């Protein structure tokens, strides 16, 4: 049975341990004084479950690495295979956050621009209008609508030249990880211009046996249709989705039998600049500003900036990234950090290698081997020792403040309110990979840094590309891993923080 350490448990167990000796459970008359016998201070801690018991129940023995350190003394408290590199999954994002903060600064803001070439005469742009991506991962359709309205407010009524889009402030990539299924929204294209986290909204409605399908750059207020992503319904059993780049269009198909009556999902966008350009073209048209079809360009031309939009500050962007674990934000922030350090990388792997070097030189990670900034890639490896060393080294720099509070739960997965152990950490989840790293505070106020990496790489290696969205047994494995993580944290809270 899973043990949950409540406030009552800590007080009750400690009290019992202080007054009960082995004689208390014997039926025979006492042979020694009945006066209470003082016990060693850690007597009550003997009831804590062993690591072997915890890992055995989770069926994860041999597949788990962890380390925990006392932040006040710097003393390592407990480890298990802590020098073994395992896939960190989205725990990588905590390293990326530190990397971006170091390179760009917490107050940095990303700017998206509308630029005019050739001057403006009587409200008409004589040359081209250019949408310039500034590496803002938070840009959405509502923001582009505001920019279109501001363009009109600036007196613009028309454009004689072309409408152009610049997305090459970062490498332009069709996807984060080629090994993922085509249809998963967490694996979109990457560039210096992102819209709606580079996802397009696919919706279907069944009427009289047929389906009406829409592909939209949907946001809270607006639902502009796009042409750069198209969906066809096919009569087949499998695969459920297919994708191909057909004539510059994201061409999708879906199996009819998988749709049901009505529904929707977000699909990844493989051509971010074209997507943002088409959406802005529609929004500008609603303001009476007619634009030609967007054209991609590789350099920003000289011209006059007519409209600017600033992102939230970097610290807020990173806090949201760590809370929602958005892969696109992580990749854009990591790439932007590498570029700010003077090296514009050609790929995610090249940028991640620069982050590995930085981590070795600045936060004590001696063997960091990351292949991207989000943790989505299979080949990334981090040791628990390295992760805890980094957490300890940056403790005074405010990382805990932007990590997500992790709730402690009971056997029915309900949150335990006012639990005596407080945890702020980054989770990481892939198929048959579950990670957790951050800080915990014990009932007595002792603060610890910890990292737990669990991975069944043998099972993961057998999965086909199609199985990676919902692999058989994956959900149950993940539940066991998360329960194990909490049990380890409870163990540490009792042994070292109570």
Domain coverage including residue 71: 7-88+381-497
Burial class (CB in 10 A: 0-12, 13-18, 19+), 277: buried
Q: What is the pLDDT of residue 468?
A: 85
Q: What is the pLDDT of residue 6?
A: 46
Q: What is the pLDDT of residue 411?
A: 84
Q: How many CB atoms lie within 10 A of CB 147?
A: 21
Q: What is the pLDDT of residue 45?
A: 61
| CB neighbour list of residue 31: distance below 8 Å, 6 or more residues apart | none
Q: Kindly state whether residues 125 and 59 are assigned to the same domain.
A: no
318 part of a folded domain: no
User: How many degrees, rounded to 5, is the angle at CA 361 between CA 358 and CA 366?
Assistant: 100
CATH code: domain of residue 136: 3.50.80.20
Question: What is the total count of domains within the chain?
Answer: 2
CA–CA distances in Å: residue 54 to residues 123, 351, 390: 71, 38, 26
319 part of a folded domain: no
Eight-state DSSP code of residue 141: H
CATH code: domain of residue 45: 3.40.710
The 3-state DSSP class for residue 251 equals strand
Q: Kindly state whether residues 54 and 135 are assigned to the same domain.
A: no
Q: Kindly state whether residues 141 and 63 are assigned to the same domain.
A: no
Q: Kindly state whether residues 114 and 198 are assigned to the same domain.
A: yes
Q: Kindly state whether residues 295 and 425 are assigned to the same domain.
A: no
Q: Kindly state whether residues 27 and 82 are assigned to the same domain.
A: yes
330 part of a folded domain: no
Q: Kindly state whether residues 257 and 114 are assigned to the same domain.
A: yes
212 part of a folded domain: yes
271 part of a folded domain: yes
Cα–Cα distance, 466 to 239 (Å, whole number): 8
Q: 459 — phi, psi (to 5°)?
A: -65, -45
435 close to 452: Cβ distance less than 8 angstroms: yes
Cα–Cα distance, 253 to 239 (Å, whole number): 9
370 part of a folded domain: no
Q: Kindly state whether residues 417 and 489 are assigned to the same domain.
A: yes
Domain ends where: 311, 346, 369? 311
Q: What is the pLDDT of residue 42?
A: 57
Over its length of 498 residues, how does the chain's per-residue pLDDT go in tens digits?
334 444 444 433 333 333 223 333 333 333 443 444 444 555 556 678 999 999 999 999 889 999 999 999 999 999 999 999 999 999 999 999 999 999 999 999 999 999 999 999 999 999 999 999 999 999 999 999 999 999 999 999 999 999 999 999 999 999 999 999 999 999 999 999 999 999 999 999 999 889 999 999 999 999 999 999 999 999 999 999 999 999 999 999 999 999 989 999 999 999 999 999 999 999 999 999 999 999 999 999 999 999 999 999 999 999 999 999 999 999 999 999 999 999 889 999 999 999 999 999 999 999 999 999 999 999 999 999 999 999 999 998 899 999 999 999 988 889 999 999 999 999 999 999 999 999 999 999 999 999 999 999 999 989 888 888 889 899 999 999 999 999 999 999 999 998
Domain ends where: 256, 287, 311? 311
Domain ends where: 264, 288, 311? 311
H or E element: which one contains 424? strand 422-430
């Amino acid at each position: 049975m899973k043990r949950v350490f409540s406030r009552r448990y800590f007080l009750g167990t400690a009290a019992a341990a202080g007054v009960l000796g082995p004689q208390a459970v014997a039926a025979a008359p006492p042979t020694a004084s009945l006066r209470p016998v003082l016990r060693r201070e850690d007597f009550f801690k003997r009831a804590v479950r062993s690591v072997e018991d915890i890992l055995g129940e989770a069926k994860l023995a041999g597949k788990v690495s962890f380390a925990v350190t006392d932040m006040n003394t710097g003393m390592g408290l407990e480890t298990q295979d802590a020098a073994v590199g395992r896939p960190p999954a989205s725990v990588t994002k905590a390293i990326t956050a530190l990397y971006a903060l170091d390179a760009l600064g917490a107050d940095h803001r990303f700017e998206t621009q509308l630029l005019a070439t050739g001057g403006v005469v009587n409200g008409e742009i004589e040359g081209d209008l250019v949408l310039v991506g500034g590496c803002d991962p938070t840009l959405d359709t509502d923001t582009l609508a505001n920019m279109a309205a501001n363009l009109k407010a600036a007196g613009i009524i028309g454009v004689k030249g072309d409408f152009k889009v610049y997305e090459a402030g970062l490498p332009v990539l069709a996807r984060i990880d080629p090994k993922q299924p085509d249809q998963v929204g967490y694996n979109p294209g990457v560039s210096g211009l992102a819209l709606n986290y580079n996802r397009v909204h696919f919706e279907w409605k069944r009427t009289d046996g047929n389906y009406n399908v829409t592909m939209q750059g949907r946001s809270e207020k607006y639902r502009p249709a796009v042409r750069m992503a198209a969906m066809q319904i096919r009569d087949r059993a499998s695969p459920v989705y297919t994708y191909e780049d057909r004539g510059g269009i994201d061409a999708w198909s879906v199996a009819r039998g998988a749709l049901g009556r009505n529904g929707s999902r977000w699909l990844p966008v493989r051509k971010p600049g074209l997507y943002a350009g088409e959406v802005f073209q529609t929004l500008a048209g609603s303001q009476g500003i007619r634009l030609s079809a967007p054209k991609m360009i590789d350099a920003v031309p000289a011209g006059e900036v007519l409209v600017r939009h600033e992102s939230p500050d970097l610290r807020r962007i990173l806090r949201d990234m760590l809370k929602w674990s958005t892969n696109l934000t992580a990749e854009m922030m990591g790439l932007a950090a590498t570029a700010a350090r003077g090296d514009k990388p050609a790929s995610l792997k090249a940028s991640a290698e620069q982050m590995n070097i930085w981590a070795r030189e600045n936060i004590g990670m001696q063997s960091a081997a990351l292949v991207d900034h989000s943790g989505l890639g299979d080949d990334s490896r981090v040791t628990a020792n390295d992760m805890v060393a980094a957490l300890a080294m940056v403790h005074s720099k405010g990382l805990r403040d932007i990590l997500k509070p992790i709730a402690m739960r009971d056997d029915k997965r309900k949150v335990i309110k006012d639990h005596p152990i407080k945890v702020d950490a980054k989770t990481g989840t892939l198929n048959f990979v579950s990670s957790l790293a951050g800080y915990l505070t014990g009932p007595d106020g002792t603060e610890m840094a910890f990292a737990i990496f669990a991975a069944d790489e043998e099972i993961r290696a057998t999965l086909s590309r199609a199985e990676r969205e919902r692999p058989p047994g994956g959900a149950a494995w993940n539940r066991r891993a998360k329960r194990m993580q909490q049990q380890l944290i409870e163990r540490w809270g009792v042994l070292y923080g109570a």
